[in-house]
Amino acid sequence: MAELSAEAEPQESQEKPLRPRQCHKFLQKKLASEFQTIVGGFIEEARKGGCAHMKLAVELLEPAKDEGRRKKGSAQRLLEELGE
Helix, strand, coil shares of the chain, percent, nearest 5, are 65, 0, 35
Name, in order, each residue with C-beta under 8 angstroms of 80's C-beta and a sequence gap of 6 or more.
72
Q: What is the pTM of this model?
A: 0.43
State the Cα–Cα distance between residues 1 and 68, nearest whole angstrom: 68
Model confidence over 23-70: pLDDT tens digits? 989 989 998 999 899 888 878 888 888 778 777 777 877 776 666 566
Distance of CA 43 to the CA centre of its chain: 19
**54 neighbors 46 (Cβ within 8 angstroms):** yes
